[in-house]
């Protein structure tokens, strides 16, 4: 029977995803990723495996090339930048993601970060815990401009929530005009979005073009009162440039759910910068989104093994 490796950290032996795969005639092996996993450990876990249901494991060309039996990789999420898709294609390995699977969760979380930043909720709670009673002014979202970078499923789900708070929404995207389904969104050039947005929320995939797109020059174009929100991928932001920009007052702050290295290392330039709050990659982690991703990932894996992948990116 085909053997499946499951590394997604919230999937467990005996759960409904495991039962689904077993009922499909597969055998399962769980090796949940906790923190960083070295390539040798990953190669070892992939030995004798036909398909893998993964989180953010680094499926490099070297790792894929040494997984001799591997035919299918399914990512239980939207981003798949941790997988060398070109190498997988050369090796005949099918790679799938689950587009839009956690859009609602990410959109609601984005609004949570906006509210926390606008009303300084983290600073208030930390101050009270330390024995103080912070009473600093916050800002209302009503009347503010939200700039969306990218217009995928999560960004589109943010729009009605932001509009319900009375925000104006502008967007910069590579999605062709005929496919935008705009609604109450005004599409603007990159420079205009940076210059006019009170909050800039990142929802773009990580590619060679978007890596470090938020660099010193981008921050210099933003309002000094602007706040950056990132629930996409950490490497979209130049972290040293962001730390410098917040410290110097070039922008007001940032709320980051993702960073370049996770967990955040002790030497990160983002540490101890007043105005920057780093969260632990939780945007898509609701009970509902996890269940949907697990079951959809299992279904995609079974379909891909049968040559019927629905969301293949290779």
Numbers of helices and strands, H then E, in the chain: 11, 12
In this structure, what token pair is assigned to residue 115?
């509210």
In this structure, what token pair is assigned to residue 30?
């769980």
User: How many Cβ atoms from other residues are within 10 Å of residue 46's Cβ?
Assistant: 26
In this structure, what token pair is assigned to residue 154?
């999560």
Catalytic option among 29, 119, 221, 281: 281
Contact, 148 vs 185, CB < 8 A?
yes
Kindly give the residue spans of alpha helices, DSSP state H, lying in 32-178: 39-46, 61-66, 85-90, 103-119, 121-129, 153-164
221 tagged catalytic:
no
Any idea which residue has 């110097």 for tokens? 248
Relative orientation angle of helices 103-119 and 287-305, to the nearest 10 degrees: 150
- Reported as type and span, the H/E element at residue 290 is helix 287-305
262 tagged catalytic:
yes
Contact, 172 vs 188, CB < 8 A?
yes
Distances in Å between the Cα of 46 and the Cα atoms of 66, 73, 281 are 9, 11, 25
Q: What is the rounded CA–CA span in Å between residue 92 and residue 297?
A: 19
Catalytic option among 233, 239, 290, 300: 233
Contact, 52 vs 7, CB < 8 A?
yes
Please give the backbone phi and psi of residue 201, each rounded to the nearest 5 degrees, phi first: -115, 125
DSSP state of 205: P
Q: What is the rounded CA–CA span in Å between residue 54 and residue 42?
A: 11
Catalytic residues: 233, 262, 281
């Amino acid at each position: 029977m085909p053997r499946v490796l499951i590394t997604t950290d919230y999937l467990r032996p005996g759960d409904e995803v495991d039962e689904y795969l077993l009922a499909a005639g597969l055998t399962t092996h769980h090796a949940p990723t906790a923190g960083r996993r070295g390539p040798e450990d990953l190669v070892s876990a992939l030995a004798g495996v036909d398909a893998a249901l993964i989180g953010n494991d680094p499926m490099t060309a070297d790792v894929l090339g040494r997984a001799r039996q591997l035919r299918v990789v399914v990512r239980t999420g939207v981003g798949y930048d941790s997988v060398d898709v070109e190498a997988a294609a050369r090796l005949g390995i099918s790679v799938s993601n689950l587009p839009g699977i956690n859009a609602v969760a990410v959109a609601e979380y984005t609004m949570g970060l906006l509210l926390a930043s606008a009303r300084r909720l983290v600073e208030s709670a930390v101050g009270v815990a330390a024995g103080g009673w912070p009473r600093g002014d916050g800002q209302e979202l009503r009347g503010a401009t939200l700039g969306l970078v990218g217009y995928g499923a999560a960004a589109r789900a943010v729009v009605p929530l932001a509009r319900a708070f009375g925000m104006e929404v502008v967007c910069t995207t590579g999605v062709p005009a005929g496919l935008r389904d705009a609604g109450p969104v005004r599409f603007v050039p990159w420079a205009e979005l940076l210059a006019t947005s009170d909050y800039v929320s990142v929802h773009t995939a990580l590619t060679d073009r978007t890596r470090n797109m938020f660099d010193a020059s981008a921050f210099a174009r933003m309002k000094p009162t602007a706040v950056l929100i990132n629930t996409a991928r950490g490497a979209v932001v130049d972290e040293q440039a962001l730390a410098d920009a917040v410290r110097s007052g070039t922008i007001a702050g940032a709320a980051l759910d993702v960073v370049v290295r996770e967990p955040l290392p002790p030497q990160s330039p983002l540490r101890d910068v007043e105005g920057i709050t780093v969260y632990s990659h939780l945007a898509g982690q609701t009970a509902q989104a996890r269940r949907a991703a697990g079951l959809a990932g299992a279904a995609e894996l079974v379909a891909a093994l049968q040559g019927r992948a629905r969301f293949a990116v290779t």
